[in-house]
Chain A
């Protein structure tokens, strides 16, 4: 379903996606799961539009047709078993049609079998720590200096002049493309949540818990997100930046990290 419908959804929002400042919708993303979630989102969106069309039309027609000022005489009925059965049964059927694909997607999202590598993500006030399990590579990743200067109260720096304002870090998480990557996530102090919209991954980092998930990125590139769980004063200033490289570039990067 998703492969054939995606161009249609895409074209409907082409106008908006052309300009990031007027972006009004979820990203389709660069993982199979993000595309699946996007399709589910659009599916329910159009269901809501359809229901809204029917209900709002009925309300509007009632307001226009049955006005006292136009001499409408009120009817006296107040029950209709048929109508009540209809508007209970139809929503049930719509809900079932939503629940089935949603449940399927959920099962797919939670299927962590067959992962090829593991990273451990730890949330700190207010930075992320990445650990490449078994590779002896680990580092902190915090807000880039350019953003950090511009974001101070009373700094005279225009955020528009800063490249990737609030969405840039000093050290990016580097990962390989086309690899099923398992992530383990926890926190050292308070709750955080690691979110990359393009991967449709959002998972809470909780002290004392190690949560697990996975993603597999289909395209190389740089993807940006933010902490999504209120974690104190600099919650808005701990971005997530993931740089996805080809497998060979990644291997080279990893080797360079070990030697340095």
Chain B
């Protein structure tokens, strides 16, 4: 990174954006700008999807229908999931990828900058299209995000628009994935071997391959729905000789890897943060990579564990039960390795570390309920109940989303050049952690006690835990406003951050100044793995 006389002429470090104002953001090809766009978009979607969750929880606060009719409730259930999965959590990690992958591998930018711009700018249009279905005759899709036929075919005028929205979201993800793979393979500084890459980069590399493998499958599945509706095909229509269960197989062949598309980048972020605040190298760097790769591989052969009740043959149920249980092994390795990283370290508890530790505990709880439902016989009881709702929200909220928040606090000083308000960050942490548990833990209980998911009203014996859950969710939703304020305050200006920001964390991203210059790493830097003196 040191400038010599020869390259001063080519030194673009001080160049800012070509355009200013709105044009800067519309036409940008800079990975930092696009990363920021993704992250801001994701934050907005957190509140859009969150508002829908609040409507759901308000209705479920008491038995009886108080606020919305059942059809609108089902639309909220559907859109909440689609917005949170495709609008909030995936773009959040795409934002981190854009910002951090080039910095971590010493690349000047993403390999395909124009494609990058398009990947992002598809998203707002896709989400607006999706949201507009709410105002169409018949309303938004009310079939749940799984879009199972035949129910989804009963959607009104909104049907083709919702399908196209899913297509656009898919195209955006595929292009982002291509870009990430090409960047890692081609623009990595030659002195960094693949196995030396930081875990966040590894998590995303594997995720990108998963995206390319399964997004087209989803696109194919929803296109077949479209054909069934408008072109008289019968892929999924029993009356025409089709098979409704086929859609479920297609959906979950996409849907199960999708779970890891969301969680592997989260694993990556946690694997960056825990060593940094333990002041100790990540335990079992290679094992962590192999664990992620095995999880990704297994994710392709477990999909039908979402379908134990469809009436599969015994052999099929047995296979998917056993293959699913295998996932516990690499996942266990990850949790044990993070714990071993903390062991005999020198720990400090700034906000990113607090969120990472909460991730360790709460993601593990989500993993436990996952292990329980891997077993087909008990799953006959758990399936489609609030126990499942509790499970995947533990994995996605204090799991994936906490990792994203942790990453946000961890890298915010690097991006803005200012330290965030540590005290407010810690208050945000405690509020989030308390309320997230108040929201989702009682859902285990009502689920086991017999409350099905996706119902707008329930039998009176489920009242107490639902009321708790609703109160928790309002608290959790409000607490996230604090996150917005902390970010706003940090961007506006506060104590200057150093290049390293934290206590000598490892990685190339900490060798560039904070805030990161608009163009960094014009020349490939030399990467030397840290000698920990061990």
Residue ID in chain A nearest B238 by CB atoms? A208
Interface size counted on chain B using CB atoms at 8 A: 96
Does B381 contact A95, Cβ atoms closer than 8 Å? no
A227 to chain B, nearest CB (A): 7
Complex Cα distance, B120 from A2, in Å, reads: 56
Q: A18: CB under 8 A from chain B?
A: no
A133 located at the interface, meaning its Cβ lies under 8 Å from any Cβ of chain B in the complex: no
Find out whether the CB atom of B342 lies under 8 angstroms from the CB atom of A233: no
Chain B positions 454-469 with a Cβ under 8 Å from a chain A Cβ: 454-461, 463-464
A190 CA to B239 CA in the complex, in Å?
12
| B150 A207 Cβ-Cβ under 8 A | yes
CA distance A26 to B380 in the complex (A): 11
Given contacts A51-B368, A58-B339, are A228 and B385 in contact (CB under 8 A)? yes
Residues of B within 8 A of A164 (CB): 459
Interface residues of A in 140-176 (CB under 8 A from B): 150-155, 157-160, 164-167
Q: Is the CB of A36 within 8 A of B377?
A: yes
Q: Report yes or no: A236 in contact with B455, Cβ–Cβ below 8 A.
A: yes
**A44 smallest CB distance to B (angstroms):** 5
User: Which parts of A1-47 form the interface with B (CB within 8 Å)?
Assistant: 20-27, 36-37, 40-41, 44-45, 47
B21 adjacent to chain A (CB < 8 Å): no
Say yes or no: A99 contacts B325, CB within 8 Å.
Answer: yes
Establish whether residues B452 and A228, one from each chain, have CB atoms under 8 Å apart when the complex forms. yes
Q: Does A178 contact B (CB under 8 A)?
A: no
Partner of A159, one of B279, B361, B372, B460: B460
Stretch from A59-67, A114-122, A251-259 forming part of the interface with B: A59-67
Within 8 A of B (CB), among A196-242: 197, 200-204, 206-209, 211-212, 225-237
* Beyond known contacts A105-B377, A209-B244, A233-B71: 9 more, CB 8 A cutoff: A20-B449, A41-B378, A55-B339, A76-B280, A76-B281, A193-B383, A202-B384, A207-B244, A237-B70
**B325 adjacent to A95 (CB under 8 Å):** yes
Residue in chain A with minimal CB distance to B275: A78
- Distance, CA A73 to CA B534, complexed state (A): 13
A sample of 22 cross-chain residue pairs with beta-carbon separation below 8 angstroms, ordered by A number, consists of A21-B463, A26-B449, A27-B450, A37-B378, A63-B347, A68-B346, A77-B344, A77-B534, A78-B281, A98-B371, A102-B377, A109-B380, A110-B317, A151-B64, A153-B66, A155-B64, A191-B244, A197-B381, A200-B380, A204-B309, A228-B384, A232-B142
Q: For A134, list chain B residues within 8 Å (CB).
A: none
Query: Which residues of chain B have C-beta atoms less than 8 A from A37's C-beta?
Result: 377-378, 380-381
Pick the interface stretch among B96-104, B262-270, B282-290: B282-290
Which chain B residues numbered 272 to 326 have a C-beta less than 8 Å away from chain A?
Answer: 278-285, 287, 309-311, 314, 317-318, 321-322, 325-326
Contact residues of B between 226 and 279, Cβ < 8 Å to A: 238-239, 242-245, 278-279
- A80, CB-defined interface residue at 8 Å: yes
Q: Is the CB of A102 within 8 A of B375?
A: yes
Decide: B309 and A62 in contact? CB cutoff 8 A. no
Contact B63 A160 (CB under 8 A): yes
Q: Is the CB of B336 within 8 A of A87?
A: yes
Task: Report the bound CA distance from A87 to B328 in whole Å.
Answer: 11
Let me know if B143 is at the binding interface, CB within 8 A.
Answer: yes
* Contact, CB under 8 Å: A25 / B449: yes
A195 on the interface (CB 8 Å rule)?
A: yes
- CB-nearest residue of chain A to B150: A190
Q: Are A44 and B375 in contact (CB under 8 A)?
A: yes
Given A74-B278, A230-B144, residue A166 in contact with residue B71 (CB < 8 A): no
Residues of A within 8 A of B150 (CB): 189-191, 207
User: If the complex has contacts A55-B335, A106-B314, are A151 and B284 also in contact, measured as CB distance less than 8 A?
Assistant: no
Which of B70, B242, B333, B464 has most chain A Cβ within 10 Å?
A: B70
Within the complex, the shortest CB–CB distance from B331 to chain A, in Å, comes to: 9
A55 touches B336 (CB 8 A): yes
Complex Cα gap A150–B63 (Å)? 10
The chain A residue with its CB closest to the CB of B311 is A211
Interface residues of chain A: helix, strand, loop or mixed (majority): mixed
* Chain A residues within 8 Å of B, Cβ to Cβ: 20-27, 36-37, 40-41, 44-45, 47-48, 51-52, 55-56, 58-59, 62-63, 66-69, 72-80, 83-84, 87-88, 91-92, 95, 98-99, 102-103, 105-107, 109-110, 150-155, 157-160, 164-167, 189-191, 193, 195, 197, 200-204, 206-209, 211-212, 225-237
The minimal Cβ–Cβ distance linking A248 to chain B, given in whole angstroms, is 31
Q: Is the CB of A26 within 8 A of B381?
A: yes
* Docked CA distance A103–B376 (Å): 8
A75-B345, A99-B322, A212-B311 known; A160 vs B452 contact (CB < 8 Å): no
**Bound CA span A197–B462, Å:** 15
Is there a chain A Cβ closer than 8 Å to B135's Cβ?
A: no
The answer to whether B182 has its CB under 8 Å from any CB of chain A is no
Q: Please, how many angstroms separate the alpha-carbon atoms of A58 and B342 in the complex?
A: 9
B533, CB-defined interface residue at 8 Å: yes
Q: Assess whether B445 is in contact with A23, with CB atoms less than 8 Å apart.
A: yes
- Which 6 residue pairs across A and B have the least CB separation, nearest first? A208-B238, A76-B534, A236-B455, A211-B311, A48-B368, A23-B449
- Residues from chain B with a CB closer than 8 A to the CB of A98 are 325, 371, 375
Determine if A230 and B343 form an interchain contact, defined as CB atoms under 8 angstroms apart. Answer: no
The answer to whether B457 touches A72 (Cβ under 8 A) is no
- Cross-interface CB contact of A56 among B311, B361, B384, cutoff 8 Å: B361
Indicate if B434 sits at the interface (CB-CB under 8 A): no
Q: Is the CB of A232 within 8 A of B318?
A: no
Given the interface pairs A80-B340, A99-B322, A106-B318, the reply to whether A165 lies near B142 with Cβ below 8 Å is no
A80: B residues at CB distance < 8 A: 283, 340
B339 touches A74 (CB 8 A): no
Q: Is the CB of B342 within 8 A of A59?
A: yes
A76 to B449, CA, bound (A): 48
Beta-carbon contact of B346 and A66 below 8 Å: yes
Which B residue's beta carbon lies closest to that of A51?
Answer: B368
A206 CB to nearest B CB, Å: 6
Nearest residue, chain A, Cβ from B313:
A110
Alpha-carbon distance between A154 and B345 when the two chains are bound, in angstroms: 59
Q: Contact flags (1/0) for B357-368 with A, using CB distance below 8 Å?
A: 100110011001
- Which A residues are in CB contact (< 8 Å) with B317? 106, 110
Measured between beta carbons, the chain B residues less than 8 angstroms from A72 are 344-347
Query: Could you tell me the distance between the alpha carbons of A48 and B328 in the complex, rounded to whole angstroms?
Result: 12
